[in-house]
Amino acid sequence: MKSKLLLILGAVLLSGCLEPCPHYNRLQVATFYGPEKPDKKPYGTVRPFYTAEEVKQPYEAIGFMSCEGSVAEEGAILKAMLYRAADMGADGILLNPGKISQENANQQSQNINVKWGWMALVGNGSTCAFRAQAIRFKK
């Protein structure tokens, strides 16, 4: 009995280590920071910005994240995006970027048009698509 309990406890603890917060592994992520992955940032240090005008210093886009879920999951999905952005080395996330544009090392431009901002209704209206752009401040 004790060994089964310890086994179950170990499995619960191990599964908690694989996902730092709910919805983290549900995120769809596209990174475009180049061949060298930046250093991770501590959780709790990535700031959310609603618009690009709120960011008061030069930055570059390093990733795009999206996740489908219910309106009730909005806060948990936002937290998951902040955690994933920290793991990507981002300083912030833009919730309503408008248009995402990034030049890669070969001077080729990548554009993603985001028309609905942070949240858009999908299908019959009970599911939402949440989107954010991960940004890194230029030095």
User: Where along the chain do its domains lie?
Assistant: 23-137
To which H or E segment does residue 109 belong? strand 109-113
Over residues 99-114, mean pLDDT: 48
Angle at 76 between CA 97 and CA 122, to 5 degrees: 60
| Residues forming a β-bridge with 99 | 113
Asked whether the whole model's pTM tops 0.75, one would answer: no
Residues in the chain: 139
The tokens of 61 are what?
């886009």
Section 88-102 average pLDDT: 78
At 122, give phi and psi (nearest 5°): -125, 135
- pLDDT category of residue 98 using cuts at 50, 70 and 90: low
Pick from 98, 1, 79, 90: nearest CA to 37: 90
What is the percent of the chain where pLDDT is above 70? 66
Range of lowest pLDDT (3-7, 41-45, 78-82, 134-138): 3-7
